[in-house]
Chain A
Amino acid sequence: MKTISIALKDLQILFKDRGALFQLFILPLLFIMVFTGALGAIGSSGKSEVVTLPTLGVVSLDYGEAAAFLLSKIKEDGSFLVQSLSATDVQSQLDENKVVAVLTIPLGFTEGIQQSTPVTLVIAPGKNSDPQIVEAARLVIESIAADMTLESQIISSLKQMGDMQATAPEQYQVFSTERVLAQARSQFVTAQARPLINIVQTVPQQAEQQAVTPDLSLSAVPGFTVLFVFLAGQTTARSIYEEKKIGSFRRLVAAPINKAQLLLGKILPNFVIALIQIAVIFAFGAFGLRLLGMTPLPIEKAPVGALLVAILLALCSSAFGILIASIAKTENQIAGLSTLLLWGMGLLGGSLVPLFILERFIGPLAMIVPHYWANKALDDLLIRGLGLADIWLSLVMLGVFTLIFFAIGLWRFDFER
Chain B
Amino acid sequence: MPAILEVDNLVKKYGDFEAVKGISFSVEEGEVFGLLGPNGAGKTQTISMLTGVIPPTSGTARIGGYDIHKDQSQVKKITGLVPQDLALYPTLSARTNLNFFGRIYGLHGKQLKERVDDVLRVVSLTDRADGVVDKFSGGMKRRVNIAAGLVHQPRLLFLDEPTVGVDPQSRNHIFESVQRLNRERGMSVVYTSHYMEEVETLCNRAAIVDSGRIIALDTIKNLIALLGGGVVYVGVKQVDDAILAELSALPAVKEAILVPQPPAPPAPEGKEHTTEVKPVTATPVIKIVAKNNQQAVVNVLGYLNEHDIVITSLEIMQPNLESVFLHLTGKKLRE
Contact = CB atoms under 8 A, between A and B. Distances in A.
A360 interface: no
Interface in A200-259: 246-248, 250-257
Interface in B18-58: 48, 51-54
Interface string A351-385: 00000000000000000000000000000000000
A256 B72 CA distance: 8
Contact of A250 (B76, B87, B101, B148): B87
A224 to B, nearest CB: 29
Contact of A247 (B85, B103, B106): B85
Contacts of A246: 85-90
B81 interface: yes
Contact of A416 (B53, B92, B105): B53
A255 B85 CA distance: 16
B81 A254 contact: yes
Contacts of B101: 251, 255
Given A256-B77, A256-B106, A250 B53 contact: yes
Interface in B42-99: 48, 51-54, 73, 76-77, 79, 81, 83-92, 96
Contacts of B52: 253-254
A250 B96 CA distance: 19
Interface stretch (A8-16, A110-118, A122-130, A280-288): A8-16
B132 to A, nearest CB: 9
Nearest to B89: A13
B1 interface: no
B106 A250 contact: no
B103 A1 contact: yes
B267 interface: no
B104 A250 contact: no
Interface string B100-117: 110111101000000000
Contacts of B81: 250-251, 254
Interface string B292-333: 000000000000000000000000000000000000000000
A6 B99 CA distance: 11
A13 B91 contact: yes
Contact of A16 (B54, B85, B91): B91
Of A12, A13, A250, A252, which is in contact with the most chain B CB atoms at under 10 Å from its CB? Answer: A250
Contacts of B48: 250
A13 B87 contact: no
Contacts of A170: none
Contacts of B86: 246-247
Contacts of A49: none
Q: Is the interface of A mostly helix, strand, loop or mixed?
A: helix
A12 B54 CA distance: 29
B105 A256 contact: yes
A211 B148 CA distance: 62
Contacts of A252: 104
Contacts of A178: none
A309 B81 CA distance: 43
A5 interface: yes
A255 B104 CA distance: 7
Q: Is the interface of B mostly helix, strand, loop or mixed?
A: loop
Contact of B104 (A17, A257, A416): A257
Interface residues of A, number: 21
A248 B106 contact: no
A412 interface: no
Contacts of A9: 89, 92, 96, 100
Contacts of B104: 2, 5-6, 252, 255-257
Given A250-B48, A253-B53, A256-B106, A12 B96 contact: yes
B142 to A, nearest CB: 12
B89 A248 contact: yes
Contact of B92 (A2, A12, A257): A12
Contacts of A248: 87-89
A13 B134 CA distance: 13
Of A9, A247, A252, A255, which is in contact with the most chain B CB atoms at under 10 Å from its CB? Answer: A255
A16 B89 CA distance: 12
Contacts of B89: 9, 13, 246, 248
A17 B90 CA distance: 12
Given A12-B92, A254-B76, A5 B103 contact: yes
Contacts of B76: 254-256
B85 A254 contact: no
A253 B83 CA distance: 12
Contacts of A255: 76, 101, 104-105
Of A9, A12, A252, which is in contact with the most chain B CB atoms at under 10 Å from its CB? Answer: A9
Given A9-B92, A255-B76, A416 B54 contact: yes
A241 to B, nearest CB: 14
A256 B76 CA distance: 5
Contacts of B108: 1
Interface in B235-285: none
A252 B92 CA distance: 17
A3 to B, nearest CB: 10
Interface in B146-193: 148-149
A255 B73 CA distance: 8
Contacts of A16: 91-92
A236 to B, nearest CB: 16
Contacts of B96: 9, 12
Contacts of B83: 247, 250-251
Nearest to A9: B100
Nearest to B108: A1
26 contacts: A2-B103, A6-B104, A9-B89, A9-B92, A9-B96, A12-B92, A13-B91, A246-B86, A246-B87, A246-B89, A247-B83, A247-B86, A247-B87, A248-B87, A248-B88, A250-B53, A251-B87, A251-B101, A252-B104, A254-B51, A254-B52, A254-B79, A255-B76, A256-B105, A256-B106, A416-B53
In the A-B complex, the 5 residue pairs with the closest CB atoms: A247-B85, A247-B87, A256-B76, A5-B103, A254-B51
Interface of A: 1-2, 5-6, 9, 12-13, 16-17, 246-248, 250-257, 416
Given A247-B85, A250-B48, A250-B53, 10 more contacts: A2-B103, A12-B92, A16-B92, A247-B83, A250-B87, A251-B83, A253-B53, A254-B53, A256-B104, A416-B53
